């Protein structure tokens, strides 16, 4: 098999379900050279467990780190938000990000495009997206998990 002669890094991003494709592909993919690696990102621990991956949960940031990142990405100054009576709303939004860096980045980018108007910010803070009602359970933005799977050698 040609793959056994080649080293590769295969990244499978945001794998939601295996639906039989992994069973068909695993033998081929795991037959790569000893140094080959497969990186799978997903939101469901069950997917990682089903393929026997080593699971690495993303660390959560504390509120102060999240707030600092939010301000930087949104290109806002704290005193700006205070003068427009948006700081409290912004803090609620950041708290809802659950300390997840990717979620803070996405939300901060979105809020950075908003006018500095209380109604706009309150609409986002009160959105149904935060409780997952707009998304299937396994798509909830606060459930990111990264899984590493490799054959033969540990990732160092």
Residues 15 and 54 both lie in one domain: yes
Higher pLDDT, 149 or 73: 73
Residues 77 and 113 both lie in one domain: yes
pTM: 0.59
Residues 67 and 124 both lie in one domain: yes
Q: Is residue 1 a part of any domain in this protein?
A: no
Tell me the pLDDT tens digit for each residue of 69-101: 999 999 999 999 999 999 999 999 999 888 888
State the Cα–Cα distance between residues 102 and 59, nearest whole angstrom: 11
Residues 66 and 97: beta-carbon distance below 8 Å: yes
DSSP E strands, the chain: 9-12, 37-42, 54-56, 145-150
Q: How many domains does the chain have?
A: 2
Range with lowest mean pLDDT among 35-49, 50-64, 122-136 = 122-136
Residues 45 and 83 both lie in one domain: no
Find the domain containing 78 and state its range.
63-130
Beta-strand pair 145-150/9-12 = unpaired
Residues 50 and 67 both lie in one domain: no
Q: Is residue 68 a part of any domain in this protein?
A: yes
Q: Is residue 136 a part of any domain in this protein?
A: no
Q: Is residue 135 a part of any domain in this protein?
A: no
């Amino acid at each position: 098999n040609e793959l056994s002669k080649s080293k590769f890094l295969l990244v499978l991003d945001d794998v939601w379900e295996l639906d039989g494709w992994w069973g068909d592909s695993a033998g081929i993919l795991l037959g790569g050279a000893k140094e080959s690696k497969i990186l799978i990102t997903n939101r469901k621990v069950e997917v990682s467990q089903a393929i026997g991956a080593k699971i690495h949960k993303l660390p959560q940031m504390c509120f102060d780190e999240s707030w600092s990142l939010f301000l930087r990405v949104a290109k806002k100054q704290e005193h700006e938000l205070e003068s427009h009576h948006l700081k409290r709303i912004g803090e609620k939004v950041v708290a809802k990000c659950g300390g997840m860096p990717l979620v803070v980045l996405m939300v901060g980018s979105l809020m950075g495009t908003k006018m500095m108007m209380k109604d706009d910010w309150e609409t986002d803070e009160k959105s149904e997206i935060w409780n997952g009602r707009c998304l299937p359970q396994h798509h909830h933005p606060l459930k990111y998990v990264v899984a590493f799977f490799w054959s033969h050698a540990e990732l160092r």
